[in-house]
Structure 1
Amino acid sequence: MKTLFMLLLFCHVASTVKHSLKYVLTATSGVTNIPEFVGFGMVNEVQMGYCDSNSKNPEPKQDWMRDLLKDNPQHMEWYVQMCLSEQQFFSANLDDLKQRLNQTGGAHILQRMNGCEWDDETGEVIGFHQYGYDGEDFIVLDLQTLTWTAPRQQAFSTKLRWDADKASLEYEKHYFNHECPHWLKTYVHCGRSSLQRTDLPSVSLLQKTPSSPVSCHATGFYPDRAMMYWRKDGEEHHEDVDHGEILPNHDGSFQISVDLILSSVAPEDWRRYDCVFHLSGVEDDIVTKLDKAQIRTNWVSPSEFPAGVTGVVVGLLLLLALCIAGLFIWRRNNNGE
């Protein structure tokens, strides 16, 4: 499966049962207008820290994280050292990859995603550690066998070298089984007031023109563990439906839309359809009936324009036609001289 290699502002939240601590580190070569190294730290997909090669020092992104680092200066120092050492590690490995693959120019991206998930009901902990290069998975650590897997042939030599480093593998095992879940539980406890809140959205029916699909749009919900779908006669409906992605709002909440194409729906059947929004951890769904009177649109038919407005438009069109005709006559007369 392809790995997404883009610098994103991660603001999503995992479920109320499973929690995650994730670090996404990215080094670039030949990419302008961004630092050569960028690192994000996320708890339940909410960005809690950031560092890059320009600013040098890590920057907490949540109030609870600022408080935690203020009370634990040793932990802050750990992040400072990690930010510096990872910059050096990524820079050296990116240069090595470019030489090994005979890539003398162009834009190249090396990225790592590592961390752990913790189920607070079962206590299960799952670690993950993987690298990607230029938009594809490159090498992945199997924590069960403590061996590296190379999805790409170009990574096979790296796999052999890293498999032979038994001390590093033992450190990885200890980190993902003990240190990572310890800090994840600490972060979840410190940030519980914001990480585990739920906000319901406002839901609207939107339509550009009478022939456009009707969009059921929900905005302002939190966390992003949500789904929305159309129903027909109480059953989930998939035909002529287009599902949108969950997108972040500027205030940290989320929005989503799901469109229903009405070309095959008879007017008398509209009452059979409704839109359902479900937020994880919330018992009651938000159900919105497909009702023409509730659809919001900016479209106005020509027949609905006021007579005065119509007259002005017609007058302007006639004036434009006269101007164009006059221009052609002027050019013809000048060409004839």
Structure 2
Amino acid sequence: MVYYQNQILNFMRYRINLSVCLSTVLHSMQYFLTGSSGLTTFPEFVAVGMVDGVQIDYYDSNTQRVVLKQDWMELVTIEDPDYLERNTGKAQGAQQTFKANIGIAKLRFNQTGGAHMFQFMCGCEWDDEDDTNDGHYQFGYDGEDFIALDLKTMTWVAPVRQAVPTKRKWDQDRAGLQYIKNYQTKECDYWLKKYLVYGKSTLQRTERPRVSLLQRSPSSPVVCHATGFYPDRVVVFWRRDGQELHEQVDPGEVLPNHDGTFQVSVDLNLTAVPQEDWGRYECVVQLKGIEDISTPLDPALIRTNWGKTGVGGDGVVLLSVFSVYLSIYWLWTLSQLISETFHTAAPPRSSTVDVVCLQRQLLEEVKMLRRTQEQLLQVEREKLLVEREKLRLAQAKFD
């Protein structure tokens, strides 16, 4: 889902307006539901709950049960003994609905086979300083927006013609709209605040980032890499003469670490920067609750790939610190996802497995399969044209 991909993994990290986040505290709760067909290595249905970017529960069609992913979630079940049974029932119902939805979508898009995914995302955000809240409620099909609810007008928006029949039907369902409105304005906000209380020590902690400057070669950009911070609402930028740079800069997305913290990198292109001007540049990391961390663009502070640096002579040891770090993270995530999917071992409840990342990868797989199908069809069309031309020439010769 386009909005889903841009607003989330840019996954699940809730890409909130970071300039606002430093002056306010914005909390979020979201649920991601994914139904699939034609994929043998992924459950037909998966549901994931997130609070402030932390996974709180998980359900899939293989186990048919909701599993808590945080130890502090036990407090919820103590107060509400029916919590797991009730939410398992909801997930099982959604599983059947999604299976039907994929069938309907395939008919609407005139599809017969292949791999397809139907997704749903709903959630709410709450600003604990001014007590305002907002939310979203939307569906996607094969990585594209399908239909979404405008919560201000309480009408459905259909960005593709295949969703128009659904819009007409759902716009007339006043009871359904009222249910969604009640969930978005009351129930979602209620549960978000409850989870924040139970998970306060985890969800409302602050961990200071570690900042490094990295460079692969003398001609490559200098990377300002911040890691080990929590929460994920961080601002990292390059500054020249005290002014934030918007050109020459390539910002990266916030990614999860295996220990529940986060990392992010921002590249600075030095092509048009003479080395005598390096002293005018600095990388700044801002995280609510701590003082700004400023790292000057000093050659002695840069960890490089081509020799020893001024920081303890790291040299070869630090050649690939960034790429190795990312490789370890992705290997760890893959192992956790394999465990999650096939249930060969129970993952720890504090796991922050990025299920949505896998979903995005599967979406890419779906898109790739569709492109391959289109290419094969094009080849078949070209073969048919060749055969028709041969037949025409043969008939002309016979005549």
Q: CA deviation at 1:191?
A: 0.9
Does structure 1 residue 291 correspond to structure 2 residue 291? no
Q: CA deviation at 1:282?
A: 2.6
Name the structure with the higher helix share. 2
Counterpart mapping for 1:163-312 below 5 A: 163-279=171-287, 281-300=288-307
Q: Percent identity?
A: 54
Which of 51, 59, 63 in structure 2 is aligned with 1:51?
A: 59
Match of 2:134 in 1: 126
1:212-270 Cα offsets, whole Å, 9 max, x none, are: 22211111111111111111111112332222221111111111111222232222211
Match of 2:3 in 1: 3
Which of 34, 54, 69 in structure 2 is aligned with 1:61?
A: 69
Q: CA deviation at 1:135?
A: 1.4
How well do the aligned residues superpose, as a CA RMSD in angstroms?
2.2
Q: CA deviation at 1:276?
A: 0.6
The separation in 2 between residues aligned to 1:300 and 1:124, in whole angstroms, is 53
The separation in 1 between residues aligned to 2:294 and 2:241, in whole angstroms, is 13
Match of 2:112 in 1: 104
Provide closer, same or farther for how the CA distance between residues 262 and 5 of structure 1 changes in structure 2, counting only shifts above 3 A: closer
The separation in 1 between residues aligned to 2:128 and 2:243, in whole angstroms, is 33
Gaps of 5+ in 1: 302-337
Which of 159, 170, 184 in structure 2 is aligned with 1:162?
A: 170
SS in 2 for 1:121: coil
Query: Any runs of at least 4 consecutive aligned residues in structure 1 with deviations exceeding 6 A, and if so which?
Result: 6-9
Match of 2:102 in 1: 94
Match of 2:145 in 1: 137
The separation in 2 between residues aligned to 1:264 and 1:170, in whole angstroms, is 57
Q: Which sits farther off after the overlay, 251-260 or 233-242?
A: 233-242
The separation in 2 between residues aligned to 1:127 and 1:228, in whole angstroms, is 26
SS in 1 for 2:129: coil
The separation in 2 between residues aligned to 1:210 and 1:144, in whole angstroms, is 52
Q: CA deviation at 1:31?
A: 2.1
Q: Which sits farther off after the overlay, 179-188 or 11-20?
A: 11-20
Q: What is the TM-score normalised by the length of structure 1?
A: 0.83
Question: Which of these two proteins has the greater Rg computed from alpha carbons?
Answer: 1
- Alignment-mate amino acid for residue 297 of structure 1: T
Name the structure with the higher strand share. 1
Q: Tell whether the 8 Å contact from 1:208 to 1:299 is kept in structure 2 after alignment.
A: yes
Q: CA deviation at 1:171?
A: 1.5
- Alignment-mate amino acid for residue 160 of structure 2: R
Q: Tell whether the 8 Å contact from 2:4 to 2:121 is kept in structure 1 after alignment.
A: no
Gaps of 5+ in 2: 309-399
Provide closer, same or farther for how the CA distance between residues 173 and 55 of structure 1 changes in structure 2, counting only shifts above 3 A: same
